[in-house]
Amino acid sequence: MDKKKKIKLITEYLFNNTRGTDKRKMREFLLEHGVAEEELSEFEKLARELNAIPEREPGEKMKINFYNNLEEYKNTISEREARMLSFKNIWEELWQPVLVKRLAYAVAIFVFGCLAGYWYTSEMKYKTQVNTMFSEMQDMQKVMMLTLIQQPSPTDRLKAISISNQISNADDKVIDALLNTLNNDPNVNVRLMAVETLYNFADNPKVRIGLIKSITKQESPIVQVTLADVMVLLQEKSSVDELKKLLERNNLNESVESKLKNSIELLI
Amino acid sequence: MITDNELMLMVKSGDIDRLGLIFERHNKPLYGYFLNLTGKTDISEDLVQNVFMRILKYRTNYRGDGNFNIWIYRIAHNVFVDFIKRKKKLEFSDNLNEWDNVLTDTSHEEESSKNEKINILESALMKLPQKKREILTLSRYKELKYKEISRILGCSESAVKVRIFRAMEELKNIYNELSKN
């Protein structure tokens, strides 16, 4: 029997609660397999004596301390649980049906407000951008119109007048350029187009005055007739004097004369 | 009778007072275990308190499917290991001389005078290295099986048997030495 096995068997024999016949058989087995009886007896004696050592009793203080500690622990737990409970109560209260309804409305209003604000801001921004672009475009059209109207080519000047039709708020510079064209342009078509364009800006008193003053300055019968029609359309009674002055001219075209008389009658 | 496992499961579920019954059942063996290891009554009492405080702390981890003795002695073993580590930091040493008067400086004094042999044996036990003292304590006094001791100390059953034998050998030598004086 090797040493390790011997050690294990002795330990089993001494401490594994083997009793009676089994214990005796085991002792015999150990002695037969090289364990000295003296050695075994010494171990047995030691084991018995170890067993005889009385169990020490702890002091009463240990028990008192334990129950104090237990009480303290329970209090800590209760406080923690109470804290958890109050948190739970708040949470549950938050989910009361009425409160949930209110909360839902509040959230809905808040979301709607955010969306409306976002939409309004976007819209305003968009409008501002469009207005800026429109304004910039109008400025460009005015510059282009003022440039083209001074060109020698009648086509360019017609283009200039056409562009001025697209200008919604014609300023003094545009009106002056159109009136100047009406009174001085050598081309009849250009002058006729200027009359029609100026008629579009007739809300402006300066335009009306300019058109009236232009009546006596015109030599072309067609322009004269057109101006007479415009005066009737505008019901511009203050133009009657100018129309009468034109009527007094000697070399006046018959059809123009008839038209002027007719217009004067309509205006008076 | 309600078992330790059942009591501990009640403690786990929040019935903290049930720990009192577990304490009543185990405080003396645990105290004996620590007293055999440290030889100091006040330290042993504190270590028993530590075991029960640790049980409360880790009560939620208790599964209740094993041997309660193994569980509680494993906690006790860990409490003692931590105690030794702390003591070592404070220059504590397992000096044999420190244990010479251990059993006579406290309440053991009266009892030791009753039986000289027991007194010598206890002194011999105190002179054993801490690990040997612990394994003898577990095997002899608490009547734990080798398998259970192996699980408490985290070693094999075979190693437990060998260590017990070595501890007995050394104890026998120390005891004989002390008996001669």
% pLDDT > 90, chain B: 30
Neighbouring C-beta atoms of residue B61, cutoff 10 Å? 7
Longest dimension (CA), chain A: 171
B162: exposed, middle or buried (C-beta count within 10 Å: 0-12, 13-18, 19+)? Answer: middle
| ipTM for the predicted complex | 0.79
How many domains does chain B fold into? 2
CATH H superfamily, domain A135-267: Leucine-rich Repeat Variant (1.25.10.10)
Chain B contacts to A (CB-CB under 8 A): 16-17, 19-20, 23, 27-29, 31-32, 35, 41, 44-45, 48-49, 52-53, 56, 107-108, 111, 117-118, 121-122, 136, 139-141, 143, 145-146, 158, 161-162, 164-165, 168, 171-172, 175
Q: Let me know: does B136 contact B122? Beta carbons within 8 Å.
A: no
d(CA A238, CA A209): 9
Among the listed residues B88, B82, B74, the one whose alpha carbon sits nearest the alpha carbon of residue B30:
B74
% pLDDT > 70, chain B: 82
pLDDT at position A175, please? 92
Say if residue B54's pLDDT is above 80. Answer: yes
pLDDT, tens digit (0-9, with 9 covering 90-100), for B107-137: 445 554 456 788 888 889 889 998 899 998 8
d(CA B84, CA B92): 8
B128 and B87 in one domain? Answer: no
Range of the domain at B83: 1-92
B105 and B37 in one domain? Answer: no
Domain boundary among B92, B121, B136: B92
CA torsion, ordered A185, A190, A193, A198, to nearest 10 deg: -20
d(CA B36, CA B52): 19
Domain boundary among B48, B64, B92: B92
- Any idea which residue has 């004596």 for tokens? A49
Domain boundary among B76, B92, B108: B92
d(CA A188, CA B134): 129
Q: Which of the 8 DSSP states describes residue A56? A: P
B108 and B155 in one domain? Answer: yes
Q: Which of the 8 DSSP states describes residue A232? A: H
- At B114, the amino acid letter reads K
Q: What is the 3-state secondary structure (H, E, C) of chain B?
A: CCCHHHHHHHHHCCCHHHHHHHHHHHHHHHHHHHHHHHCCHHHHHHHHHHHHHHHHHCHHHCCCCCCHHHHHHHHHHHHHHHHHHHHHHCCCCCCHHHHCCHHHCCCHHHHHHHCHHHHHHHHHHHHCCHHHHHHHHHHHHCCCCHHHHHHHHCCCHHHHHHHHHHHHHHHHHHHHHHHHC
* Chain B contact for A129 (CB, 8 A cutoff): no
Q: Which two tokens stand for residue A19?
A: 């009793």
A 62-81 residues with CB below 8 A of B? 62-63, 65-67, 69-70, 73-74, 77
pLDDT, tens digit (0-9, with 9 covering 90-100), for A154-181: 888 888 888 888 887 788 889 999 999 9
B180 and B99 in one domain? Answer: yes
B26: exposed, middle or buried (C-beta count within 10 Å: 0-12, 13-18, 19+)? Answer: buried
B84 and B156 in one domain? Answer: no
Q: Which two tokens stand for residue A258?
A: 């008839």
Kindly list the averaged pLDDT for each block of 10 residues, start to end, along chain A of length 268.
79 70 81 85 85 82 90 82 67 70 86 90 86 86 88 87 83 91 90 89 90 90 90 90 88 86 89
**What residues of chain A lie within 8 A of the CB of B121, using their CB?**
46, 49-50, 53
B106 and B73 in one domain? Answer: no
B20 and B77 in one domain? Answer: yes
pLDDT, tens digit (0-9, with 9 covering 90-100), for B56-70: 988 888 888 888 989
Cα angle A73, A75, A77; round to 5:
70
What CATH number does residue B9 fall under? 1.10.1740.10
- Domains in chain A: boundaries: 3-52, 135-267
Chain B's closest residue to A64, CA to CA, is: B49
What CATH number does residue B148 fall under? 1.10.10.10
